[in-house]
Chain A
Amino acid sequence: LAKTTQPISMDSYEGQEVNITCSHNNIATNDYITWYQQFPSQGPRFIIQGYKTKVTNEVASLFIPADRKSSTLSLPRVSLSDTAVYYCLVILQTGANNLFFGTGTRLTVIP
């Protein structure tokens, strides 16, 4: 079971870079790390997925060190609209198609 651990909450000012770290000590060799964003009363929305090193898309970057026991979601220059809950998931490659959302990190962006 690839359990994830994240900080419960974070605050940031507008325009700053925000880094949210997720610990996943039991990650297996081929498991992927995925991040979702969820606004109140909406379903989660995919942000980014990675396996190792660094992945970047138009909204975020994902940094994964060599040991893969943690990962960091980086949001550049956050705005008020980035206030949401961010979930880290480890997608198991073996066994059942298990999907475990972590507790999530509630990010509040302050003007």
Chain B
Amino acid sequence: DAMVIQNPRYQVTQFGKPVTLSCSQTLNHNVMYWYQQKSSQAPKLLFHYYDKDFNNEADTPDNFQSRRPNTSFCFLDIRSPGLGDAAMYLCATSREAVARPYNEQFFGPGTRLTVL
């Protein structure tokens, strides 16, 4: 089945140690998104790619970076994780920009990041 895959499902890192989370999709969608979701909160959009065009949300810290080497893969890099970065990180895709009708987002299962 076509899907959004996130690896690993659980990631533990140390304070200040760079970490990379990965996302892949078999849907061949143009847009890929990264969200941060903290406990009992709504997902918060960090950034997204429309094809190779990167779009950063205004309040996303510089500590968070992203790469999309090809259509299928997208990475979230946290350069120096702090305790406050512990969260679930969700990857999502959509065929076109969600501002267009009938372009729902498909979410992966998430990666839960723990910072020690």
**Do A and B associate with each other?**
yes
What's the Cα separation between A56 and B50 when bound, in Å? 30
* Docked-complex contact B98 and A103, CB < 8 angstroms: no
Residue positions of A touching B, CB distance < 8 A: 32, 34, 36, 41-46, 49, 51, 87, 91-93, 96-104
- The answer to whether B105 and A97 touch across the interface, beta carbons within 8 angstroms, is no
User: Which positions in B face A, CB cutoff 8 Å?
Assistant: 4, 33, 42-45, 48, 50, 55, 88, 90-92, 97-99, 101-102, 104-110, 112
What's the Cα separation between A103 and B38 when bound, in Å?
12
Nearest residue (CB) in B for A30 is B99
Q: Which residues from chain B contact A46 at a C-beta distance below 8 Å?
A: 104-106
Whether A99 contacts B109 in the complex (CB less than 8 A), given A43-B90, A49-B104, A93-B99, comes out as no
The listed residue with most B CB atoms (<10 A of its CB), out of A41, A42, A43, A97, is: A43
Question: Contact between A42 and B99 (Cβ–Cβ < 8 Å)?
Answer: no
Bound complex: CA A75 to CA B44 (Å): 26
Give the docked Cα–Cα distance between A3 and B39 (Å).
20
